[in-house]
Amino acid sequence: MINVTPVILCGGSGTRLWPLSRTGFPKQFLCLTGKESLFQQTALRLVNSGNSNIQVGSPIIVTGESHRFLAAEQLREIGVELGCALLEPVGRNTAPALTLAALSAMEDGTDPVLLVTPADQAIENSVAFTVAMQQAVEEAANGAIVILGVTPDRPETGYGYIQTSSSDADAVVHTVRRFVEKPDVSTAQAYLDEGGYYWNAGMFVLRASVWLRALQAFRPDILQTTHLAWSQCSVDGKFLRPGSAEFTGVPSESIDYAVMEQCPGSDFAIKMVALDAGWSDLGAWDAVWNVLPKDDSGNAHLGDVLTTNSKNTLVHATSRLVSLVGVDNLIVVETPDAVLVANKSHSQDVKHIVTQLQRANREEHALHRKVHRPWGWYDSVDEGGRFKVKRIQVKPKASLSLQKHHHRAEHWIVVTGTAEITNGDKIVTLSENQSTYIPLGEVHRLANPGTIPLEIIEVQSGSYLGEDDIVRFEDTYGRAKP
C-alpha cells in the first residue's frame, strides 16, 4: 500500500480575475466553473485519486493567516477532513511552501508520497486526471520526481514547457530532457509541430524525503532557513505557524527554479506523466470564458443576463441584471461594489486596475462588500458621513470577539434567530424584532446560542467607522487584530 498525502498550495491573490477575486477572497475560493470553488474541486480530485494500492490521506494546505478559516470551512462543506493548515507569515513562493509541507508530512516518522498542486486550476475530465495521478504515484513511490505535463492544444505563450525524450514518445511515463521558459508564438508553434513538448502545470508527485534531499542538493539555503522556521512552529489545533521572524528570512523561490529545472542530467530521476484532461489555470477572464459552456453566439453568461445581437462575450452578474446590446468580445463582471468592462483580448491587463486601487488605498482591491469571517459574514449595505449600515449573519453556536470601539456606537436589530448579547456587565437575550444599543467605548459581544443562523441589522454611528477600530479582549479564533 502506497501512502499518499495531498498538498494544496493556496497562496496567490488572483488579481487578473478582479473584481470577483480579491485579496480577502482570492480566486481559488471562488465558484467559477461549477458549484464548488476551485479549491474544493482540487481537494475532491486529490482525495478521490486513490485505488486498492494507493491510500490517500487528509490534505495538507499551505495558505496565509487571513484565509485559514475560509479554507477550513470550504473543506468542511464538501466533507473533506483537513490534515493541517500551514500558515505562512509572509509569502515566499512555492519551494518553501512545499518544504514546510514535507517537514510536516514526515513528523509522524512516515515518508508519504506527496501530491502537490495549486488550488486554483480547473480540470474538465476528473477520470483522466485520476488515471494520470495514479501513474505518477506509482513512479514516485519508487523514488522518482514526477511532474504532470499538460498535452498542449495550441501554441500558448503564457506557460513554460517540458521537453521529453523522443525515445519514449509512446510511453506512459516520459523522461524529462529539459524545462523551457515561456516562448514567443513562433517558438511555441515549433514545439507543437515537433512534438514531445508539454505545458508545465505546476503539479508534482514525489516522496517527502526525496524533495528534502533534492533541495539539500540544489538549494541548501532554502532547506536550512525553512527548517529553522519549522523548528519554531507553534500549534493551534490543526493550524501550524512556522516562526515568523525565521520564515521571513527564507529565500523566495519556486519549485521549478529551486529543484525541477536542476534535475535533468543530475542524480535525481525526473519523469513526466502526460495529462490530457481539459486543464486550465484560469489565470484571467479569457481563460474562464474558454472553459465555460457557451450559446450558439459564443456567449458565456452567469447570473441575471440579457443580450441581443452580441457574441463571444463573458458576463458574470452577481447582484443585478446585466444587459448587452450589439457588442463583441467583451468581458463584463458585476459585483455589488464594482463593475469591470474589458475587451477579452486585454484580460491580462486587469491587474493594472488592481494596482491603481492599491495605490489609491481603496478597499475594493482587497475586500468585497460582503466580507466572510470565521463566525459568519457581514455585508456593508450603506454608509454616509457618520453612519454605516451592515447586515450581519452569525453561524449557530458561533460568536464574535469580546470587544470595544473608541469611535463608534452601535444599534442592533434582530431579524431572524436568537442573539445573546454581552453589553458591559449585562448579558441579554433578544429574539426577532427586538433591538439594543451599544454605547461608544462599551465592552460587548454578539453570540448565536441557537441552532439556526442569527441575522441582525447593525447601524453604526460615530466619527470613525473603519474596521480597525476594534480592541479585542477575548476571541475564539485567536485573532489579535481585526
> Is 86 strand, coil or helix?
strand
Q: What is the pLDDT of residues 202-252, one digit of tens each?
A: 999 999 999 999 999 999 999 999 999 999 999 988 999 999 999 999 999
Q: What is the pLDDT of residues 127-147, one digit of tens each?
A: 999 999 999 999 999 999 999
Has residue 171 been placed in a domain? yes
C-alpha torsion angle, residues 46, 47, 51, 57 (rounded to 10): 120
Provide the domain count of the chain: 3
| Cell numbers for 456 | 441582525
Q: What is the pLDDT of residues 422-444, one digit of tens each?
A: 999 999 999 999 999 999 999 99
Given 228, 250, 280, the domain boundary residue is: 280
Claim to verify: residue 162 and residue 247 sit in the same structural domain: yes
Given 260, 280, 300, the domain boundary residue is: 280
What's the rounded Cα separation, in Å, for the pair 66 and 70? Answer: 8
What's the rounded Cα separation, in Å, for the pair 110 and 103? Answer: 11
pLDDT computed for residue 169 by the predictor? 63
pLDDT computed for residue 168 by the predictor? 65
Claim to verify: residue 433 and residue 449 sit in the same structural domain: yes
Bridge partners of 335, per DSSP, are 338
Cα 24 off chain centre by: 10
> Quick check: 478 pLDDT over 80?
no
Q: 104: part of which helix (H) or strand (E)?
A: helix 94-105
pLDDT computed for residue 132 by the predictor? 96
pLDDT computed for residue 90 by the predictor? 93
Claim to verify: residue 390 and residue 420 sit in the same structural domain: yes
Nearby residues of 363 by Cβ (< 8 Å), 6 or more positions away:
none
| Domain interval for residue 320 | 285-356
Given 325, 356, 387, the domain boundary residue is: 356
Has residue 481 been placed in a domain? no
Axis crossing angle, helix 94-105 with helix 208-218, rounded to the nearest 10: 130
Bridge partners of 458, per DSSP, are 390, 412
Has residue 216 been placed in a domain? yes
Has residue 340 been placed in a domain? yes
- Mean pLDDT across the chain: 94
Has residue 250 been placed in a domain? yes
Strands 122-123 and 279-280: antiparallel
> Quick check: 406 pLDDT over 90?
yes
> Mean pLDDT, to the nearest integer, of 273-297?
93
Name which of 253, 252, 231 is nearest 243 in CA terms.
231
Nearby residues of 477 by Cβ (< 8 Å), 6 or more positions away:
69, 374, 375, 401
More confident residue, 182 or 137: 137
Claim to verify: residue 347 and residue 391 sit in the same structural domain: no
What's the rounded Cα separation, in Å, for the pair 271 and 428? Answer: 64
CATH classification at residue 17: 3.90.550.10
Q: What is the pLDDT of residues 303-325, one digit of tens each?
A: 999 999 999 999 999 999 999 99
Residue where the block lists cell 442573539: 419
Residue where the block lists cell 464548488: 36
Tell me 12's DSSP state.
-
> Quick check: 481 pLDDT over 60?
no
pLDDT computed for residue 230 by the predictor? 97
Instruction: Write down how long the chain is.
Output: 482
Q: What is the pLDDT of residues 94-114, one digit of tens each?
A: 999 999 999 999 999 999 999
Q: Where are the alpha helices (DSSP H) in 206-349?
A: 208-218, 220-231, 244-248, 255-258, 285-291
- Environment class of 399 (CB within 10 Å of its CB; exposed 0-12, middle 13-18, buried 19+): buried
C-alpha torsion angle, residues 166, 171, 173, 179 (rounded to 10): 20
Tell me the residue ranges of DSSP E strands in 326-386: 330-335, 338-343, 370-373, 376-383
Claim to verify: residue 268 and residue 303 sit in the same structural domain: no
Query: Band of the pLDDT at 466, cuts 50, 70, 90?
Result: confident
What's the rounded Cα separation, in Å, for the pair 73 and 178? Answer: 40
CATH classification at residue 395: 2.60.120.10
Cα 369 off chain centre by: 19
pLDDT computed for residue 149 by the predictor? 95
Q: Judge contact between 134 and 189, C-beta under 8 A.
A: no
Residue where the block lists cell 512555492: 94
Q: Judge contact between 103 and 95, C-beta under 8 A.
A: no
> Quick check: 480 pLDDT over 90?
no
> Mean pLDDT, to the nearest integer, of 263-267?
91
Nearby residues of 438 by Cβ (< 8 Å), 6 or more positions away:
409, 410, 411, 412, 423, 444
Claim to verify: residue 409 and residue 299 sit in the same structural domain: no
> Quick check: 166 pLDDT over 90?
no
Kindly report the backbone phi and psi dihedral angles of residue 378, in degrees, each rounded to the nearest multiple of 5, phi listed first. Answer: -135, 150
Claim to verify: residue 234 and residue 291 sit in the same structural domain: no
| Cell numbers for 82 | 483537513
Tell me 192's DSSP state.
H
Claim to verify: residue 308 and residue 383 sit in the same structural domain: no
Name which of 211, 217, 256 is nearest 98 in CA terms.
211
pLDDT computed for residue 139 by the predictor? 95
- Environment class of 385 (CB within 10 Å of its CB; exposed 0-12, middle 13-18, buried 19+): exposed
Nearby residues of 244 by Cβ (< 8 Å), 6 or more positions away:
89, 90
Has residue 71 been placed in a domain? yes
Claim to verify: residue 389 and residue 452 sit in the same structural domain: yes
Has residue 479 been placed in a domain? no
Claim to verify: residue 194 and residue 72 sit in the same structural domain: yes
Claim to verify: residue 14 and residue 93 sit in the same structural domain: yes
Name which of 449, 472, 474 is nearest 395 in CA terms.
449
Has residue 299 been placed in a domain? yes
Claim to verify: residue 294 and residue 265 sit in the same structural domain: no
